[in-house]
Amino acid sequence: MKGTSWSSKVLKVASRATGLNPFGFEDFETGMPGDSGDDKHIARIPEEVRKEIERRFRELEEKEAIAEKRGYERGFRQGEKDGREIGKQSMEILTRQLSELIENISAIPLEISKQYAETIKAVIYGTVKKVLQVEVEEDNEIIRKSLEVAFDALNETHKVTIKLNPKDYELLETNIFDSIQGGLSENVKVTWKPDPGIMRGGCVFETDTQFIDATMESRLRQIEKLLEKI
């Protein structure tokens, strides 16, 4: 996300995402993974909590902006190879920044954070999920990066089945599948399968001995674990 801090991206993307108004802290339709639509409810965050969270969010954003500016400057100086590495690590960076945000929110006075913890977690989770959904629709490179990560984790094998979202399957089918196969050992046979159960931007590798999960869903599960700290 060149030139824009992660939290700025959250604010901009979420502001144009239908049904989500994440950091204005008006009324929210909340729901964590596993909740049914019937279980969703409207939660109102009091003014003092809203102001405190927004203040801490701005502090984090300012720190991110300085760090990212330095990081990207170094990346450009070090050349295209390092630039690709920065791209491959984007989800790790997002997770780290989210962890810092959670640490900031956790510092809110204890009685307030406890009282509204579930609402705060639902708001953060819903915002991050919406950001991911918008990002994978706008950036076709995300699926390529996910494939790179999965291939890096792949052990020597003779047959691998790769599952990905049907839209990503169509995107890569015309000119990428053959080039990927051509870059592998002659003994390796790749079978590509569209799977509507996989969110855009991610993929699953299956072999006789390995199951590699490089999906957006697995990233969201990492975020769930971070949210448990609130």
Question: H-helix or E-strand containing 151?
Answer: helix 141-153
pLDDT top residue among 193 and 50: 193
pLDDT top residue among 103 and 7: 103
Task: Establish how many alpha carbons lie within 13 A of residue 113's alpha carbon, considering only the half-sphere containing its beta carbon.
Answer: 15
Is the separation of the CB atoms in 190 and 180 below 8 Å? yes
Question: H-helix or E-strand containing 205?
Answer: strand 203-206
Residue 11 confidence (pLDDT)? 37
Share of the chain above pLDDT 90, in %: 14
Rounded Cα distance, 131 and 4, in Å: 14
Chain centroid, CA 101 distance in Å: 15
- Give me the phi and psi of 96, to 5 degrees please: -65, -45
What are the residue ranges spanned by the domains of the chain?
A: 6-139, 141-217
Residue 132 confidence (pLDDT)? 79
Task: Establish how many alpha carbons lie within 13 A of residue 154's alpha carbon, considering only the half-sphere containing its beta carbon.
Answer: 25
Give the pLDDT band (50/70/90) at residue 164.
Answer: very high
Rounded Cα distance, 119 and 124, in Å: 9
Most confident of 85-94, 146-155, 199-208: 199-208
Best CATH choice for the domain 141-217 from the list 3.30.2320.30, 3.40.50.1000, 3.30.360.10, 3.40.50.720 = 3.30.2320.30
Rounded Cα distance, 86 and 70, in Å: 13
Rounded Cα distance, 23 and 120, in Å: 10
